[in-house]
Structure 1
Amino acid sequence: MRVVVAPDTFKGTWPAERAAADIARGWRSVRPHDAVAEIPQADGGEGTLPGVLAAVAGAELRSAGPVTGPAGHPVAGVWLDLGDGTALCELAVVAGMHLMPTPDALRATSRGLGEVMAHALDAGATRLVVALGGSASTDGGLPVLEALGDRRPPARGVAVLCDVRAPLLGPDGAAAVFGPQKGATPLEVVALEARLEQVAARLGADPTVPGAGAAGGVGYALLAWGATLVEGAPEVARLTGLAAAGGDADLVITGEGRFDAQSRLGKVAGHALASFPRVAVIAGEVAEDPGVWSVSLTSLAGSREAAMGQPSRWLEEAGAAAARAWEERGPRAFVPAG
């Protein structure tokens, strides 16, 4: 039997590559003779770069030197060389919320991403893949364009991986939905919306494109620069080889911190359910029935706190439970509806 283990990061608890290893170990404890491949995933947001690095043979981290962090202080800039002329840059690595001493939605900057992209282009990249998500800023991406200067998209284009489908403006846009998550008060949300309206007037691209509001409007700025906005999970699946391996597998085991209605809207688990013939879902919490065999780490451990306290133990147990379910219930329990 061929099994592919392809979870996302269990946010705040366990990175995707470690989750994949734990689940695979649990499966092998029940079915040691199966061929089990570990292909950690991401949805184009935080964790994309390490996930692709772990999955792509020959991928190498490249240093961009010190770049501007979200609070204006230098941080280490890195990008991933995929070996075929493609450079993967992740916004959260250089401009993520975790790099802010305190949230400051009005002053945080996305400039560091542009500096990393510029370094990759100057190093000869012929294609850029840019992962958005986890940003500290709501600046419309103008600092990214300023850092890029007169550089244009490379010959093979730029794919911007969006982990959300939000437009730039309005009640579903970058300021209204994500500004409060970045520390913005109601009055600051109004100021941020006005800022984004000015960015839209200056750049002239369509602010209603899904993903334009990603990373505080960086998606919009890169759209205006000439990039293509795409859903992150399918592109990461292609980059890591999951798209091909999952189609040939007897079972794909996916996972994430919480499976709910949002999981089907561009997340890794939702992409797996829509793409592969037999799927198992392992999640920290299962708030909505995925329609296939699933298990909650919270249920296995007895509480959320216990599950988060020993994620490796319960992920391994979940992998073993999936293998037992396959033996007891057969493949039909893993076939997504529709």
Structure 2
Amino acid sequence: MPTFTLGDDRLSIQAGSYSDQITISQIARNWDALSHYPERHAAAALHDLNARLTAFAAHLDELQAMGGSLDVEAEAEQFTRRHIEVTRAWWQAESRCMSSFIVGPANFPTRRNEKRQATAHKRMGEIGAHVAAARKAVERRAFPHGRPDGPVRGSNPDAADLLRQKIEERESRQAAMKMANKAIHKNRQESEETMAQAVAEATGWSLQVARAVIAPNAFAKRGFEAFELSNNNAEIRRLRSRLDGIEAKQQEPGRDTEEDTAAGPVRVVENVEADRIQLKFDGKPEEAVRRTLKGLGFRWSPSH
């Protein structure tokens, strides 16, 4: 497992075969022309870097605990190597910036400094962009068909079964909500504890959940309101419609044809298993062709 140890004067990094030590004294010079206290900036920079590395490692652990297929060590090493490169690029860009309060106002290169500050700001943005892109990429590798707590994708071979499970859960909740409301209405003259007990017996929920259900809302109403029942019903209908569409699509045979186009011969594949239409070229198409296809919703896939 990767380890990141933040001490008083340094950050020690170990991720797979990659190891590094970054000390405050090594990087403090990047803020010499920006602050009277460059060491404070350096300490804050190491603290933020450690937080980002630790958060990504925790994200890897979370994905693995959810059942994702991941080589945590390799993923942590790849992210750490690249993220430190991106972070050092920002620090280096900062080192080229100046403050007139530090270097003095005489002959201060205002326009040149503004350009350098813009570059530093861009490099800082690349740090957040790298974290976001890396998280998205690692989730895609861990769960090629989507996270188990996310929406069901049509490309998932188990999509139909997952949708049936979601429908059953929704239908079960719909029935339980109705039973809870019926129990509340039947015991409306009784004490709250008696009412909660009746709800628990009718639905099979715990007494703690039943007490929360019977608690009056801001309008002094108990139980589930009509909109909650109708919203749940609407979601059941949506899931059933989605299931019908997926089952119908699975019954259709995939088609594979070749078309003559201005860009040359192109195979048009209706890939039912992957739930997508694929256009396959003999080689990488021209930039103009890729740009046109991208505008129509297609994405270039180097691996295919």
TM-score category by the smaller chain? under 0.3
Question: Given the two structures, how large is their TM-score scaled by the length of structure 2?
Answer: 0.22
Higher relative CO (Cα under 8 Å, sequence separation at least 6) belongs to 1
Q: Which has the higher strand share?
A: 1
Question: Given the two structures, how large is their TM-score scaled by the length of structure 1?
Answer: 0.20
Q: Which has the higher helix share?
A: 2
Structure (1 or 2) with the larger CA radius of gyration: 2
